[in-house]
């Protein structure tokens, strides 16, 4: 009998307790934008070459000039969303297979960036497959300057704002060119991927 009363008291308390939904915060976590100056400094510390332009076509023209300065002979490979801008900048980009050639250049977009670590966030898409981020010798990313977020947690908060809970095929979080110091503790760039990572910030 005592056991029955104890069970009834426990069940009564559970029924009166607030549900998990009612205990949840009224507003979900909102993404916080990061400090662009801090981001650029940390990106440079990560061996990311940073430049700035006002709009995409201007940025692609500057990348073309950079390739000439570096005496890179081949045309770049450009991700799908940037193809029309690349042609407007005077390029006829090469196919993805060109990424296997020496001195290859891959130009893609960064979905956002993280100010606290100087990190770039790149999405894998059919028109910009993830493997392309690792094949080229030189990797250029264009980033909307308004999409610098404070922390990695803000990246996922921003994703939920824009896409709910639908996940992308893959997310690459890139904090500089490929590098290793396994041999005599000497830093070597391009050990397992691009030997240069370059960023073009677009807009203000």
- pLDDT (0 to 100) of residue 22: 42
In a domain, 12, yes or no: no
Residue in this structure with the two tokens 């890139």, named with its chain if needed: 174
Q: Model confidence at 26, in pLDDT bands (50, 70, 90)?
A: very low
**Helix spans in the chain (H):** 2-16, 20-23, 36-45, 56-69, 83-88, 132-135, 152-163
- Give the C-alpha separation, 113 to 39, whole Å: 8
**pTM for this predicted structure:** 0.79
Q: Are strands 196-202 and 170-174 parallel, antiparallel or unpaired?
A: unpaired
Domain count, the chain: 1
Domain limits at 58?
A: 32-202
In a domain, 88, yes or no: yes
Whether residue 179 is predicted with pLDDT greater than 50 in this model: the reply is yes
DSSP state of 20: H
CATH code for position 154: 3.40.50.10420
Q: What is the pLDDT of residue 157?
A: 93
Q: What are phi and psi of 150, to 5 degrees?
A: -75, -55
| pLDDT at residue 16 tops 70 | no
The fraction of the chain above a pLDDT of 90, given in percent, is 57
Q: Does residue 157 belong to any structural domain of this protein?
A: yes
Higher pLDDT, 148 or 126: 148
Residue 17 lies in a domain: no
């Amino acid at each position: 009998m005592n056991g029955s009363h104890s069970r009834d008291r426990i069940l009564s308390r559970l029924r009166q307790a607030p549900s998990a939904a009612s205990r949840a915060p009224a507003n979900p976590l909102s993404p916080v934008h990061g400090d662009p100056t801090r981001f650029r400094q940390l990106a440079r510390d990560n061996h990311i070459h940073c430049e700035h332009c006002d709009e995409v076509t201007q940025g692609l023209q500057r990348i073309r000039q950079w390739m000439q300065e570096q005496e890179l002979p081949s045309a770049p490979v450009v991700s799908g969303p940037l193809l029309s801008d690349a042609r407007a900048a005077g390029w006829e980009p090469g196919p993805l297979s060109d990424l296997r050639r020496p001195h290859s250049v891959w130009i893609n977009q960064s979905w956002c960036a993280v100010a606290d670590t100087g990190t770039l966030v790149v999405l894998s898409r059919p028109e910009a497959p993830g493997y392309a981020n690792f094949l080229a010798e030189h990797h250029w990313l264009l980033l909307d300057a308004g999409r610098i977020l404070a922390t990695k947690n803000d990246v996922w908060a921003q994703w939920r704002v824009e896409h709910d809970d639908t996940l992308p095929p893959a997310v690459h979080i890139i904090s500089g060119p490929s590098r290793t110091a396994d041999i005599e503790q000497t830093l070597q760039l391009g050990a397992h991927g691009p030997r240069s990572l370059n960023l073009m910030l677009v807009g203000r």
